[in-house]
Structures are given as structure tokens and as C-alpha cells.
Amino acid sequence: MRASLEVADIFRAAGPAYRTAHAGHLSLHQLRIMSAIEHCRTAALGGHVEACTDCGHWRIAYNSCRNRHCPRCQGAAARSWLEAREADLLPVGYFHVVFTLPAEVAAIAFHNKALVYDLLFKAAADTMLTIAADPKHLGARIGITAVLHTWGSALTYHPHIHMIVPGGGISRDGTRWISARPAFLLPVRVLGALFRRLFLTRLRALHDAGKLAFFGSLTHLAERRAFLRHLSPVRKKRWVVYAKAPFAGPEAVLAYLARYTHRVAISNSRLLRFDKAGVTFRYKDYRKAGAGRQQVMTLAADEFIRRFLLHALPRGFHRIRHYGLLASAHRKDHLERARRLLSAAPPPAADSIDEPEARPLCPCCGGTMVIIEVFERRYQPRAPPPPSLSSGTQAP
């Protein structure tokens, strides 16, 4: 069901003026994102006409843009991805771990997204794998599914990594499964300290290699001494790694993944109003507890679009990654071994027979809807549909 207000509505109304006001300051990538969202499921992208074989009811279905920043296009992508991941779940508890960058480092990340986001992934994953393999802690090789988010609830810039981690791993000699304690995976203070060291060491290496770019108020950080002074307070502060209690079963893990893996900066369901005052939406204030956490904010349309575009990912960047036992190269072998060690049944084999694609049902009589016309981009479909299917025809 279409939400009463969508990000696309805001982009269509305020996007042209925003592009004009910021001409020369928007990247081609950002312009393409705006265009994709504005044209999603409109005649601009083409589509088809469906008609019921029983009652003749017909409707128009426009093509989606399939842009990963579009709030309307993530549901189907998430469902397909989850179907593939369901077979990877093990019969153990799963933990949710979050790695966050301090504000001083996030400012550098904003101007060097591809490099620093990649570093964030690798430093966080190496931290988890290293501490988990330490016999003083778990002493096992674990699996990790990691997802990058770059936003706070109010659309502010807040890069962080969400991880889903099985509660245990395979011993170093590969002969047994080592389970984590029921409500404890790894010590977060130890994780935070190693994460800080790995990340800052590698960030300095990127600077020394001349790979980081600095603009605006950060231009002076191109000089090494200024860069080190900027990072000096960060080296002394505690980097917070947050670990939540384990999920209550595999179904809860899948429900969580459905919400997080293909999420965009703001969903259409959080939008409340769009008028002369600006865009009003719901957000969570995590400094408050209980009912007071849910808040409402209004931003000018230009500021709303600016904040939305802050979270445009670099082209081709993978925001979902797998490490350890779940790394793609040996995922199947590792999962088979883990199930043997856990005495768990293998996942049901996928049906090798290709089933015919399910057609949508008629909303009027429950009959089968068939495609009677396909139209290209920028063209409107013919109406009404052919006489053979027009008996009882209703407008969409």
C-alpha cells in the first residue's frame, strides 16, 4: 500500500529548486539518486497493464527505479536477500553488536566515504575475529554479517556498523563448536580498545600515503601535524562498542535483518506532513527512555533533501558484508561443519524444479491478472484495454 506521503513527493515538489540553488555543488551520483526516486513507479520508467481473465478489471503497474537509496524499492530487495540468508542460520543464539565512529573521525569519513567506510568495515571485523579467537575470551572462529548505516534517526551523519554474530564458533582445530555464554559474547571494553587502535593506525597509514582528501574547514588536516593533533583527543577517549542481548531464535534474527539490511536514511512511513513549514517526520531521541523517545521534527524542504543526500553511498560500494565463517569463499563448507558439530539438521534443499512465476490476483474477484500491454519509458498505456477483456472493466 502506498504511503500517503513519500520522499518522492518531496523530491518532485522541492527537487527542481534545490538543484537550481545548489548547481555545481551536487555530484552526478546525487543527481541520479534524486532523479531515480522522483521517477520511481511513474510513466517515466515504463510499465505494463494487467487485466483479470475473469471479470476484466484492469490496472496499470509502473516500473520501479531499483535504486538502493529509494524507500519504495527496498522491500523486494530485502525479501530476496533474506530468502538466501535463511539457509545460513544456525540453531544458536545470535548477538547484535554495533561499532560507531567518533564525531572527529566521522568528519573525515564524510569527505572520504569509500576509503573510510571500507576501513570501518575491516577494522570492526578484524576486531571481532581477533578477540573471539583469543583463548582468554572465546577461542573460536566466528561468523559475522555486517551492515553499514550512515545516519542517525534525525537524518544526521552518523556512520556505524551493525553486526549479527552467532553465539559461538568453531574451535581453532576445527573439532568442536564453542558456545558463548547465554547473555555474553565478548567484552565490549576490550573490543573498543582494539577497534580504536586498528582504525587509527590504518587511518594514519591512509593519510601518510596521500589517499585522504580534505575540504572546507578540514583543509588544514592535509598537513600531517595538524592531522595528528586533530586525532589526539580521539586516541585518548573510549570508543564505545555496543552489544545487545541475544535474539530469541532464528525468526527474530530474520525479522531484524529485514529491518536493517536494506534500510535507507528515512522510510516513507516516518513522514507526517509536507507543507510551507517544511517536512515533518518522526524520529527517536535515544537520550530519552520510554514514550518520550518518540519525537517529531520539522525541517525546511532544502534541509531535508540535504540531509537525505548526506547518506548517498559511493557507487558500487557493498554495504552488506560477511566475515569469518560466513565469508563467501568458504561459507558453505564452514556452515556444513558447524551444523555437524552442533548435530543440527541441514537446511532443506532448494527445489530444483523451476516453478512458474506467480501472477498477482485480481483485487475484485480473486482471478488471475495477466499482462495485456507493455509500454516503454515516457509513454502512457492505451485505455481502455482490448474489448476481449473489457467486460466489467474498471478504472485503476
Q: Are 280 and 296 in contact (CB under 8 A)?
A: yes
Q: How confident is the model at residue 372 (pLDDT cuts 50, 70, 90)?
A: confident
Helices (DSSP H) in the chain: which residue ranges?
A: 7-21, 28-39, 74-86, 103-111, 113-133, 188-208, 224-236, 250-260, 301-309, 331-341
Among 18-32, 36-50, 165-179, 237-251, the range scoring the smallest mean pLDDT is 237-251
Q: What does the pLDDT average to over 359-388?
A: 73
Q: How many domains does the chain have?
A: 1
Q: Which domain holds residue 121?
A: 88-265+314-342
Residue 225 lies in a domain: yes
pTM of the model: 0.86
Per-residue confidence band for 8, with pLDDT thresholds at 50, 70 and 90: very high
In a domain, 325, yes or no: yes
| Range with the poorest average pLDDT among 90-94, 275-279, 360-364 | 360-364
* Within a domain: 250: yes
User: Is 39 part of a structural domain of the chain?
Assistant: no
pLDDT, one tens digit per residue, over 107-141 is 999 999 999 999 999 999 999 999 999 999 999 99
- Domain contains 270: no
- 28 found inside a domain: no
For residue 196, tell me if it sits in a domain: yes
Residue 74 lies in a domain: no
